[in-house]
Chain A
Amino acid sequence: MNKHLSFKDGIIDALPICLGYISVAIAFGVLAVQNGLPLWAPPLISVTSLSGTGQFAALDLLKATASYIEIFCAILVINARYFLMSVSLSQLIPPDLKWWQKCIIAFGNTDEVFAVATGKKLSLNFKYMSGLILCAFFGWTTGTVIGTFAGSIVPEVLSSAFGISLYAMFLAIIIPPAIESNPITFTIILSAVLSIAFYYTPYLNRLSSGWVIIICGLGASVISAIKFPVREADDE
């Protein structure tokens, strides 16, 4: 395939992310104000962090006036899964990117951006990644501003229905390749079973979702790699 991914392709591919982010970020803004944060703080958090789970957890920590070291460690644990995603993404982006381009891609490597980027069949480039990230960033910050300043006017039924959109998008990313690949289907089912087991097993369900994702995601892919090693010839 000779077609190159453009900036516009990135924007278009990120539209479902943008939609999902607006709704989740509205919820973040509303909750932040309820927790007593001044109005300037929630948008600043969204602009500097661009992360869902981490930011929601941060609200609890801020409310409790947790120490800086406590905040740093807690958020790092929640976000440790990004380490896996960035290792994976490092293999997909061109190796000759400039340092500031790498900084931008790293900043925008959220769960959803990672999911869309890895689902692409064409090779990734900086233009495409920046379109993807910009559109996602726009949704996240816009939603936060709406939630912070006008959260009460968004009907609850609408915001709860939007809660499913990012998960639906994840499904649309992982299912089509699974239809054509048994090892991928195996990985998905194994990881889902593990994650469900963690969720419903007493004691295990006390583990934070960040660790559950790492254990299940890493566990399933290690077992798949042992069971179904990809042959050298396959990837050229």
Chain B
Amino acid sequence: MNNNYLIIAIITISLATYMPRFLPIALIKSKIKNNFIKSMLIYMPYGVLSAMIFPAIIYSTGKIATGIAGSVVAIFLSYKKKGLLTVAITSILTVLLFEVIM
């Protein structure tokens, strides 16, 4: 791996990451009026995030058992409307606890 290759490759990676993030924000200048698209955009964050969470969350700790334990705690606390930081830290602690027990 020579340095020239690496530097051009890193710029390429950056461009391919930045393009899909930048183009819509740069090109869409006004509020979208179409009711169907508006509805879709309201639901899209939930659809995208849900697809990212499930089933990846149970594999996120390397062990399925601790992953499930952490998920259950995270879902319960989210349901109780605890804040992001509380939910994140409590589920980390749950995973740690299960790692120690098992």
Contacts and interface: CB of A to CB of B under 8 A. Distances in A.
A196 B54 contact: yes
A15 B83 CA distance: 11
Contact of B1 (A65, A160, A161): A65
B101 interface: no
A169 interface: yes
A148 to B, nearest CB: 14
A8 to B, nearest CB: 15
B41 A116 contact: no
Q: Nearest 4 pairs between A and B by C-beta?
A: A217-B48, A75-B16, A216-B51, A220-B47
Interface string A116-134: 1011000000000000000
11 contacts: A114-B45, A161-B92, A164-B95, A165-B89, A168-B91, A179-B81, A191-B46, A220-B51, A221-B44, A221-B46, A230-B35
A47 B24 CA distance: 22
Nearest to A69: B12
Interface in B17-31: 17-26, 28-31
A212 B51 contact: yes
B52 A170 contact: yes
Interface string B38-63: 11111111111111111111001111
What DSSP secondary structure best describes chain A's contact surface? Answer: helix
Interface residues of A, number: 110
Interface of B: 1, 3, 5-6, 8-26, 28-32, 35-57, 60-63, 66-67, 70-71, 74-75, 77-79, 81-92, 95-96, 99
Interface in A4-37: 13, 15-16, 19-20, 36-37
Nearest to A196: B55
B61 A88 contact: no
B50 A229 contact: no
Contacts of A87: 24, 28, 41
A225 B88 contact: no
A188 B96 contact: no
Contact of A191 (B21, B32, B51, B81): B51
B77 A192 contact: no
Nearest to B83: A172
